[in-house]
């Protein structure tokens, strides 16, 4: 019996997106998410490059709507993975 291979995008969505969604209004969480995504992208760009940029942008968009201070949005923009 063979199990289908796990797609990278499914793994990233399952790991990061619930935290990104639930912590959308917390700058500390958003910074960690962006830095973690960037670290994975940099360690294995052939595996994570495209998918990390896609999900980092999604997390950033969600955070931009939830963060109450424009300064925090700008701070997040400067460290965003895939910028």
Q: How far apart are CA 26 and CA 5, in angstroms?
A: 34
pLDDT at 79 over 80: yes
What percentage of the chain exceeds 90 in pLDDT? 84
pLDDT at 83: 66
Q: For 25-77, how does the pLDDT look when each residue is reduced to its tens digit (9 = 90+)? A: 999 999 999 999 999 999 999 999 999 999 999 999 999 999 999 999 999 99
pLDDT at 2: 85
Print the SS3 string covering the chain: CCCCCCCHHHHHHHHHHHHHHHCCCCHHHHHHHHHHHHHHHHHCHHHHHHHHHHHHHHHHHHHHHHCCCHHHHHHHHHHCCCC
Domain definitions of the chain by residue range = 8-79
Average pLDDT, the chain: 93
pTM of the model: 0.87
């Amino acid at each position: 019996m063979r199990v289908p291979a796990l797609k990278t995008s499914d793994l990233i969505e399952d790991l990061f997106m619930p935290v990104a969604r639930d912590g959308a209004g917390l700058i500390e969480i958003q910074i960690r998410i962006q830095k973690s995504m960037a670290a994975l992208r940099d360690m294995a760009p052939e595996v994570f490059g495209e998918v990390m940029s896609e999900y980092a942008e999604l997390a950033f968009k969600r955070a931009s709507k939830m963060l109450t201070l424009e300064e925090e949005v700008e701070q997040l923009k400067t460290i965003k993975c895939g910028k």
